[in-house]
Amino acid sequence: MTTPRISAPSVEAFSAAILRHLKLSLGKDPEHASLYDWRMSLALSLRDHVVEPWFESTRKTYEARGKRVYYLSMEFLIGRLVEDVAVNLGFEDIAEEAITALGQNYGDVVANEPDAALGNGGLGRLAACFMDSLSTLGIPAYGYGIRYEHGLFEQHFEEGAQIETAETWLSQAHVWEFERPEVTYPIHFGGHVAVEDGKTVWHAGETVMASAYDTPVLGWQGRWANTLRLWAAKPTTNFDLESFNRGDYIAASAPEALARTISRVLYPDDTTDVGKELRLKQEYFFTSASLQDLLRRFLSEGGALKDLPDHVAIQLNDTHPAIAGPELVRLLMDEHQFEVAQAITTARACLAYTNHTLLPEALERWPEDLFARVLPRHYRIIQLIEAAHFATAGETVRIFEHGEVKMGELAFVMAHHVNGVSALHSELVKETVFSDLNAAYPGRIINQTNGITPRRWLYTCNRPLRGLINDTIGTAWPDNLDQLSGLTAHVEDSAFLDRFQAAKDANKARLADWLKARDGVSVDPAAMFDVQIKRIHEYKRQLMNLLETVALWNDIRANPNGAWTPRVKLFGGKAAPGYVVAKEIIHLINDAARVINADPVTREFLQIVYPENYNVSMAEMLIPAADLSEQISTAGKEASGTGNMKFALNGAPTIGTLDGANVEIRDCVGAENFFLFGLTAAEVTARRAEPDYARTAIAASPRLSEVLDQIRSGLFSGGDRDRYVNLVNGLYDHDYFLVTCDFDAYFAAQRQVDTAFADSRTWTRMAALNTARVGWFSSDRTISGYAKDIWQAQSLLEQRDA
């Protein structure tokens, strides 16, 4: 048994603490307190217990003088923290009892907290899971990112179409952060470069200040807490009094305006915004601040810069912080008198890069003229880096090409290791985007398959299943997830399966209540909950799911007395505001839902539900309630996926393609517990080379042809034949993601699912085996892999109790 390190207060003492904060921090008495006041008082009372472990971890980190991990990420998709902190402190019951004793509903109080949505999707959520695991494992680490004033936009549906409004999480005080006004660094942009007395000098055109905000990240059982340091942009001088006195009011507030834009808003896109100047400034802003910060810390502890790689491991979460290579070289050369070669070697020994996508349109490139204007000194340094790369590897791969700076190539050349995020993806990284660089630097590319934190994604979000697991295999599994394999011995035990199903049913009932209360939507908890939640992207093929839904509707209408398995098709996800096709898909799902849900003939068998504004908190509600997990991307396009792991862990079998981590999930759960369909990555490539592959596939599928005709006819768009003409024609003319080619196989796999689900005992067993066999996908395992293979970083926890 692991012993909690934190001594818990009594319920009475904790209630008193909440009341004290209510009075002294919120200035309210209980009679006049709102839900917000109670939530803030609870959060502050919990926070009081985080500070000691945080200090202790920081002290141990300094004493150890070992390797520290710096995780640089444009995105941290955190979600809510009240329950997370309560759980990690081991105070969950105390917090709930105290709040209840004070006459409040714990669930409502917890749900009052806005999500910290500083990320778009998988990449940002992965960073948050990694922070959790770094703390749980006691690896000294700092997360570095941007303190966006506005997180990911809020999604609304108007007549079925997506509308975006600004997210405003900081309009309320964010209790988990501590402002560090004394920690600031200047960040320079523009200007010109000159050589003075044989030394290269950058005369910047404009400067903003990066100002630190720290959030403690508490690990499991409070045994360790690292720091997430987010940077906010501030003006160097609040106000230019000289201009103001001259009467130039606009010029007087110019420095302020630039500074405030930099950390104003998260870019909501992973494709169409590539190449925007403000984005480049954001990237340099947080990367430079983070490197200045870690160098200052290293030097203040008396380190010699030549030893930097022994003390510092910097992980680049995608190419967004790839400017770290040239920036570290710049700091070493211009401020610490390193020679070029030595600066490059030292920087590379500190840096590693994670690739998250092969989609060509998502690979970052900057027009050279823009780049040279915003970062003239770095432009020259990248020329030096490219020259050094040519000298070792030859000139096959360039960093500058077609008038652009290619950030993937830059990150690769400046990293000692490059990793993909699933076995398949890492192989494709070697074979496709980086094949030449792989040949030039053999062994540099490695794999680290993604993972998820079981504390948030099972223990906290799925209390019924948690209880069953605790009763069955004990309580040591949340930080030792391989122990879930102990459940395997129970899958023939009908009492265990009854309880497993009861847990699922409880989660489904909870989701049903939530949908009713929030959106006024009624769903039948006895139906299969078939869930696809993720960003809306053509390659993720929500469209194929919708087409299959319409085809099923047609089949049911043709045979209304058939033995159909009732289903609720749940969709969740946002489209980038500028991504036209993705928005058409959303509109079509909502249009089809309106028509199909109103059909009295099919109503008892089929329903489509698409709750608006999908986010981390909604995922925590949907995943435990899911019967079926949709992971249906075109093979070779989803780098890993992490939602796929969350569903399997919570006992939802997958219908999916051989893509990303699906491959490894299937290997773990067994082929008989996974509904596989579709072309493989190699077959996808081959099929694309065939002429007219889409038209051929449509012609061969009467079902698909009918569905496409229905959509085109205006059946779902109130007779409007124009609304989906692009979407339908797109499938005929350039179905790049092979929706048409995989459609029939997907339809057939869904009918296998119907049959399997109808045999409820067998289905429950399959679900339980999914939970029992995916312990490997804990982000603790992933982080242990990074620590060993990339960072050479050690845990500072005393040997954990067995």
Nearer to ligand 26M, 371 or 496 (CB): 371
Active site residue 646: yes
Residues 646, 622: contact at Cβ < 8 Å? no
Backbone torsions φ then ψ of 515, nearest 5 degrees = -65, -40
Residues 422, 614: contact at Cβ < 8 Å? no
Q: With binding defined as CB under 6 A, does residue 279 bind ligand 26M?
A: yes
Active site residue 23: no
Q: Show contacts of 357-360: CB within 8 Å, 24+ apart.
A: 357/270, 357/318, 357/639, 358/425, 358/428, 358/429, 358/432, 358/433, 358/636, 358/637, 358/639, 359/271, 359/539, 359/637
Nearer to ligand 26M, 223 or 646 (CB): 646
Q: With binding defined as CB under 6 A, does residue 674 bind ligand 26M?
A: no
Please tell me which residue in 534, 541, 587, 723 is annotated as part of the active site: 534
Q: Which of residues 654-673 bind ligand 26M (CB under 6 A)?
A: 660
Can you tell me which of 9, 121, 160, 309 binds ligand 26M, judged by CB under 6 A? Answer: 121
Q: With binding defined as CB under 6 A, does residue 120 bind ligand 26M?
A: yes
- Least distance in angstroms from the C-beta of 265 to ligand 26M: 11
Query: Encoding tokens for residue 100?
Result: 């209840």
Q: With binding defined as CB under 6 A, does residue 270 bind ligand 26M?
A: yes
- Least distance in angstroms from the C-beta of 8 to ligand 26M: 35
- Least distance in angstroms from the C-beta of 316 to ligand 26M: 13
What pairs with residue 417 in β-bridges? Answer: 352
Residues 130, 782: contact at Cβ < 8 Å? yes
Going by C-beta distance under 8 Å and a sequence separation of 6 or more, which residues neighbour residue 228? 76, 131, 142, 143, 145, 214, 215, 216, 217
Amino acid found at 148? Y
Report the distance separating Cα 423 and Cα 449, nearest Å.
6
**Stretch binding ligand 26M (CB under 6 A), from 46-54, 115-123, 471-479, 692-700:** 115-123
Q: With binding defined as CB under 6 A, does residue 274 bind ligand 26M?
A: yes
Active site residue 695: no
Please tell me which residue in 61, 184, 215, 642 is annotated as part of the active site: 642
Q: With binding defined as CB under 6 A, does residue 356 bind ligand 26M?
A: yes
Q: With binding defined as CB under 6 A, does residue 123 bind ligand 26M?
A: yes
Can you tell me which of 98, 126, 414, 418 binds ligand 26M, judged by CB under 6 A? Answer: 126
Active site residue 67: no
Burial status of residue 141 (CB atoms within 10 A of its CB: 0-12, 13-18, 19 or more): buried
The DSSP call for residue 636 is T
Report the distance separating Cα 177 and Cα 751, nearest Å.
50
> Of 393, 398, 486, 482, whose CA–CA distance to 440 is shortest?
393
Per-residue binding string, ligand 26M, 359-398, x by CB under 6 A, is ---x-x----------------------------------
Nearer to ligand 26M, 91 or 130 (CB): 130
Query: Encoding tokens for residue 506?
Result: 């409880």
Active site residue 534: yes
Report the distance separating Cα 603 and Cα 567, nearest Å.
10
Going by C-beta distance under 8 Å and a sequence separation of 6 or more, which residues neighbour residue 13? none
Whose tokens are 């579709």? That residue is: 678
Q: With binding defined as CB under 6 A, does residue 433 bind ligand 26M?
A: no
**Stretch binding ligand 26M (CB under 6 A), from 90-98, 556-564, 637-645, 668-676:** 637-645
Nearer to ligand 26M, 312 or 415 (CB): 415
Sheet containing 225-235, strands listed edge to edge, beginning at the edge strand earlier in sequence: 178-189, 206-218, 225-235, 141-146, 68-72, 312-317, 351-354, 417-420, 445-447
Report the distance separating Cα 524 and Cα 569, nearest Å.
12
Q: With binding defined as CB under 6 A, does residue 641 bind ligand 26M?
A: yes
Please tell me which residue in 535, 574, 637, 765 is annotated as part of the active site: 535
Q: With binding defined as CB under 6 A, does residue 84 bind ligand 26M?
A: no
Active site residue 540: yes
- Least distance in angstroms from the C-beta of 680 to ligand 26M: 17
Please tell me which residue in 425, 444, 587, 646 is annotated as part of the active site: 646
Q: With binding defined as CB under 6 A, does residue 273 bind ligand 26M?
A: yes
Q: Which residues are at the interface with ligand 26M (CB under 6 A)?
A: 120-123, 126, 267, 269-270, 273-274, 279, 318, 356-357, 362, 364, 421, 450, 638-642, 660
**Catalytic residues, which ones?**
356, 534-535, 540, 642, 646
